[in-house]
Amino acid sequence: MKLQVKPSSVSGALTAPPSKSCTHRAIILAALAKGTSKINGALLSRDTRATMQAMEAFGATVKEENGVLTIRGGRLKAPMTAIDCMNSGTTLRLCCGVASLLDKNVTFTGDESLKGRPMKPLFSAFAEMGVYCAATPQGFIIRGPNNGRWAHIKGDVSSQFISSLLISSALKPRDTDIVLTSPLISKPYIAITQTMMAQFGVKCSEMKDGYRVMGGQSYRPRDYTVPGDYSSAAFALGAAALAGKVTISGLDPQDVQGDRAIISFLQEFGAEVTINSNEVTVQQSELKGIKADIGDCPDLFPILAVIATQAEGETVLYNAAHLKHKESDRIAAVVTFLKNMGAEIEEKDDGCLIKGKCKLTGCTINPSGDHRILMAAAVAALVAEGKTIINDGDCYDVSYPAFLKDFKDIGADVEEVE
């Protein structure tokens, strides 16, 4: 299936989709808690369903009804068959932490993209704590038990590694010190993990060079409501900055999500931004180039690059070399599709440089199955001359199943084509 997008303006109001990051964590923490939890407003997407199925394989019971997940957990067991994480790096990395607690082999698999994602830093940290880890052509094997006192790990590859260690360490019989051997990227995602661990009854503390987790703790069941997702809302807000006016509700202005930075970046670009309680309204305006450190919010890179093409002057997006190890090499993928549309854009090791304002022309775009590339390309197509065809036209379902409907609801001229 493909998407066809034609130039169009946008207007209207949307409710932010639920946070993918928080949904993943809520499912895992509820499954580790002894008792029954209810997760309200969970994001039900390809990635989060992979996590649901993984935790069921570990012994949890997950029931879905009217948008509410009822999860009964606390009975960890080794899965009988391989866990298929599909394309979800979050599922793989966080669930490797769960597997490290067990004394039997746990096998993880997924699509070819997932099997190529970096895992060595996490596996090295587990090995230091006595966990067997192996990469095979079919996937990955983990066998605990994890009884180590210290783990040393690089902080500049993926914050998911640290989240995996934090979540699992609380259930170990002894304390764990997680020592960072390089600067930490995407720190807000660690803040999400810490905040949610506390909400499920477990504490960890930050040290000068890492984190300490007290052993012998247990997760407690609770009712939890998933907040709105700034990462997904950024696409509609970006579309408004280029081609209209859109209001999105359900965005907590105090949320620890790193992608909340989309608001300040839009303001810096010169977009007209109004915040009223949990609503954010963005209106098209004359834009100017910016310099943006996206080390803590790398998922914003594709949409920020698109916005930058329509901003006068130079925009530099930097400090996100780890984008090369996402669902695709996101730096190369964004530079390629925008260059094909006519943008003056230069790839850098940690981001890109864009000279605007650029005249974009519709073309055929291959997002390589990467949901954020597809959604960014759809926004770019709104201000491109002629029609744009986007292959892998349903991969937005990984994180934002309602994307196509929402995009149409605010007036985008988009349709599915053969």
- Residues involved in catalysis: 299
Q: Which residues on neighbouring strands pair with residue 214, listed in sequence order?
A: none
List the end-to-end C-alpha distance of the chain, in Å, as a whole number.
6
Q: Which residues on neighbouring strands pair with residue 273, listed in sequence order?
A: 282
CA–CA separation, 57 and 413 (whole Å): 42
Q: Which residues contact 65 (CB under 8 A, 6 or more apart)?
A: none
Of the candidates 59, 5, 4, the one whose C-alpha atom is nearest the C-alpha of residue 30 is 59
Question: What strands lie across the sheet with 61-65, from one edge to the other?
Answer: 61-65, 68-73, 35-40, 223-225
Tokens of 136: 């095979």
Q: Which residues on neighbouring strands pair with residue 224, listed in sequence order?
A: 39
CB 71 within 8 A of CB 34: no
DSSP string, 133-167: EEEETTEEEEE-----SEEEE-SSS-HHHHHHHHH
H/E segment holding residue 357? none
Handedness of CA 364, 368, 369, 373 (dihedral sign): negative
Name residue, tokens 């199943």.
401
CA–CA separation, 383 and 243 (whole Å): 7
